[in-house]
């Protein structure tokens, strides 16, 4: 019985399979224009954060509501942050000129 197994194994030709993979690079999701818009949106957001944090009291032991609740901190800075976020959304969804015409 062992002779039969040895013969069948010896007689079976070895099959070699060669696989070739064609690697195709994925197209870029964003173009250079998208990254420029993203950078502008990031700068606007950072500017809004800086304006929101700005200003300090002359004396640390006194509370001055005019400094803490200034128009810049309460109104302008949040508007800039929301504007920056909208620019970021536009940058993500913006299509390049080639894709828009196709």
User: CA 49 from chain center: how many Å?
Assistant: 20
Q: Is 76 a member of any domain?
A: yes
Residue 43 resides in a domain: yes
> Which residues span the domain enclosing 72?
34-55+63-96
DSSP letter string over 36-97?
A: HHHHHHHHHHHHHHHHHH----SSTTS--HHHHT-HIIIIIHHHHHHHHHHHHHHHHHPPPH
Tell me which of 2 and 62 has the higher pLDDT: 62
**Residue 15 in domain:** no
In-domain check, residue 9: no
Whether residue 14 is contained in a domain is answered as: no
Q: Please, which residues have CB within 8 angstroms of residue 54's CB and are 6 or more apart in sequence?
A: 72, 73
Q: For residue range 15-37, list pLDDT tens digits in order.
A: 777 777 888 888 888 899 999 99
Q: What is the pLDDT of residue 92?
A: 93
For 62-77, write each residue's pLDDT tens digit. 888 888 888 989 999 9
Tell me the pTM: 0.68
User: Nearest-CA neighbor of 44 among 80, 90, 77?
Assistant: 80
């Amino acid at each position: 019985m062992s002779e039969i197994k040895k013969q069948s194994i010896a007689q079976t030709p070895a099959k070699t399979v060669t696989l070739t993979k064609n690697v195709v690079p994925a197209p870029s999701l964003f173009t250079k224009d998208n990254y420029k818009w993203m950078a502008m949106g990031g700068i606007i957001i950072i500017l809004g954060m800086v304006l929101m944090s700005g200003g300090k009291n002359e004396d640390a032991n006194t509370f001055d509501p005019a400094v803490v609740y200034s128009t810049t901190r309460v109104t302008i800075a949040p508007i800039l942050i929301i504007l920056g976020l909208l620019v970021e959304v536009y940058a993500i969804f913006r299509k390049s000129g080639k894709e828009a015409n196709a």
